[in-house]
Amino acid sequence: MAERKSARSTDRFRRKRDAILDASTAIMNERGVKGLTLADAAAAVGLSTTSVTYYFKRKDDLAAGCMLRGIAWLQATTDEALAAPNPPQRLARLLQLYFERVARAATGAEPPLPTLSDLRALKDAQRAEVFEAYMRLFRRVRTLFDSPDMAWLSRGRRTARTHMLLEQLFWSATWLPKYDPEDYDRVRDRMYDILVGGFAIEGATWAPIPVPLAELAAREGPDMSRETFLLAATRLINSRGYRGASVDKISAALNVTKGSFYHHNEAKDDLVVACFDRTFDVMRRVQRLAMAMDGTQWQRISSAAAALAEYQLSEYGPLLRVSALSALPGEIRTEQVAHSDRVSDRFASMISDGIAEGSIRPIDPVIAAQMLNATLNAGAELGFWVPGITQKAAPSVFARPLLMGIFTR
């Protein structure tokens, strides 16, 4: 009798805990870790804030719980996908399972998966726990490439491709809502086709035309001073998240006063917007330079991708990671997502022109452009995942696998 009572109590605890995590994941995906509160989580499930603290003492415990549950699902899904006999079939199974889950979430049949891009916004103890779990997941996904046929792939290049692949899954959350859930299977198949076959037609070579990176940097004078400030802020936000990149730390990095900070920006949100504006401006300038090149659209798109991959590791980089979007108020975030979409739309136009002229395979240009945008954005972290990688090596190690095929030598 006591055992049955204890089991019912345990089930009741688990159900309430899961309900809190479900509601909190939706809130966190919408507002970021910064916008998640225990009070909002409690209101979403009809509990008092005190009741929620019985399950999660602090907000960061709750946010970490959401992320850890999502990582556990991804780990189990990866394990199932890895049962397939070879890398292409493992990739196909991973995409199938992932898109089935996000389709169920889109229709309300299951809770959403948590956004992991805001991991750095957690406090130290929770961040360490979630990051350790993510590293276990990452190492497991990396074994997708384990095969005698791929023995030529070095550990660093395998790591870079794993980072690129996972970024495709996470980034898809920003553009999948444009499609009806009933179309997710088609989207999945097109993503698989692009990942395996790349953009290039048979016989194409990887020979991007160099873009002088100095042309992308601000010139002397006030613009250069602002560029220096925004670059320091971008590096801090990328490495420590919105919460960790305090005004004091940004000012200290440049050896200036807080007054200098507020001379450039009225508030921290304004600073994030300015960093995004700088990022999109650099990407648009690269696109314009590539579009003005002689040659085919394949040469232009590969040259733009190579330039931006190299820029991320140059003295002028990196660009701001899209994870910073979650810290912005809804209206501002929507505006910045629109800027990102315009960059993707231009890539889509270049890809469409390449398909028409026959220099690029017949692929879905809209999905391919989003995947390219995801890859280039993720390049900001390439130095972390592949220590010692050089600026010149970044295009072939990171951009080339998407454009030529993830399993291509």
- CATH at 123: 1.10.357.10
18-25, long-range: CB within 8 Å, 24+ apart, which pairs?
Answer: 19/45, 20/45, 20/47, 20/52, 20/55, 20/56, 20/62, 21/62, 21/65, 21/66, 21/69, 21/111, 22/111, 24/62, 24/63, 24/65, 24/66, 25/66, 25/69, 25/70, 25/111, 25/112, 25/113, 25/114
Q: Give the pLDDT confidence score for residue 216 in this predicted structure.
A: 75
156/73 same-domain check = yes
- Does residue 257 belong to any structural domain of this protein? yes
Q: Give the pLDDT confidence score for residue 218 in this predicted structure.
A: 56
Q: Which residue has the tokens 């000012």?
A: 251
Residue 7 scores a pLDDT above 60:
no
168/241 same-domain check = no
- Given pLDDT bands bounded at 50, 70 and 90, which one contains residue 96? very high
Residue 24 scores a pLDDT above 90:
yes
Residue 23 scores a pLDDT above 80:
yes
103/224 same-domain check = no
Q: End-to-end CA distance of the chain: give it in Å, rounded.
A: 63
128/243 same-domain check = no
Count of other CB atoms within 10 angstroms of residue 17: 16
Q: Give the pLDDT confidence score for residue 273 in this predicted structure.
A: 84
- Given pLDDT bands bounded at 50, 70 and 90, which one contains residue 331? confident
CA atoms of 109 and 104, how far apart (whole Å): 5
Amino acid at 95: L
- Taking all residues of the chain, what is their mean pLDDT, rounded to a whole number? 89
Q: Give the pLDDT confidence score for residue 21 in this predicted structure.
A: 96
- Does residue 205 belong to any structural domain of this protein? no
- Does residue 202 belong to any structural domain of this protein? no
Please state the domain count of the chain. 2
For residue 79, the SS3 value is: helix
Beta-bridged to residue 360, according to DSSP, are 200
From 195, 142, 156, select the one nearest 394 (Cα to Cα): 156
Q: Give the pLDDT confidence score for residue 254 in this predicted structure.
A: 67
173/225 same-domain check = no
| Boundary of a domain, candidates 161, 183, 205 | 183
- Say which DSSP state 397 is in: I
Token readout for 15 is 């159900």
- Does residue 191 belong to any structural domain of this protein? no
Could you tell me the pTM of the whole model?
A: 0.91
What's the mean pLDDT in 130-140? 97
- Given pLDDT bands bounded at 50, 70 and 90, which one contains residue 364? very high
More confident residue, 341 or 229: 341
Q: Give the pLDDT confidence score for residue 13 in this predicted structure.
A: 86
What's the mean pLDDT in 148-162? 96
224/94 same-domain check = no
Residue 220 scores a pLDDT above 60:
no
Q: Give the pLDDT confidence score for residue 93 in this predicted structure.
A: 98
Q: Give the pLDDT confidence score for residue 9 in this predicted structure.
A: 61
What's the mean pLDDT in 110-116? 92
138/29 same-domain check = yes
What's the mean pLDDT in 102-116? 94
CA within 13 Å, CB half, 214: 2
Q: Give the pLDDT confidence score for residue 3 in this predicted structure.
A: 55
- Does residue 152 belong to any structural domain of this protein? yes
33/134 same-domain check = yes
Q: Give the pLDDT confidence score for residue 339 in this predicted structure.
A: 87
CA atoms of 344 and 400, how far apart (whole Å): 18
Amino acid at 258: K
Q: What are phi and psi of 318, to 5 degrees?
A: -95, -175
- Does residue 277 belong to any structural domain of this protein? yes
Q: For 243-263, how does the pLDDT look when each residue is reduced to its tens digit (9 = 90+)?
A: 666 667 777 766 666 566 666
CA atoms of 138 and 15, how far apart (whole Å): 29
More confident residue, 365 or 225: 365
Q: Give the pLDDT confidence score for residue 214 in this predicted structure.
A: 79
**Are 285 and 243 within 8 A, CB to CB?**
no
103/244 same-domain check = no
What's the mean pLDDT in 178-205? 97
Residue 103 scores a pLDDT above 80:
yes
11-20, 139-148, 150-159: least confidently modelled range: 11-20
From 390, 396, 281, 293, select the one nearest 343 (Cα to Cα): 281
More confident residue, 329 or 177: 177
376/265 same-domain check = yes
CA within 13 Å, CB half, 141: 25
Q: Which residue has the tokens 């890859």?
A: 375
143-157, 316-330, 369-383: least confidently modelled range: 316-330
- Say which DSSP state 122 is in: S
24/74 same-domain check = yes
> Positive or negative CA dihedral for 177, 179, 185, 186?
negative
- Given pLDDT bands bounded at 50, 70 and 90, which one contains residue 238? confident
- Does residue 22 belong to any structural domain of this protein? yes
Exposure string for 328-345, b = 16+ CB within 10 A, e = fewer: beeebbeebbebbbebbe
Enclosing domain of residue 30 = 14-183
- Does residue 204 belong to any structural domain of this protein? no
CA atoms of 377 and 397, how far apart (whole Å): 15
Q: Give the pLDDT confidence score for residue 174 in this predicted structure.
A: 87
323/375 same-domain check = yes
Q: Which residues contact 220 (CB under 8 A, 6 or more apart)?
A: none
Q: For 371-407, how does the pLDDT look when each residue is reduced to its tens digit (9 = 90+)?
A: 999 999 999 999 999 999 999 999 999 999 999 999 9
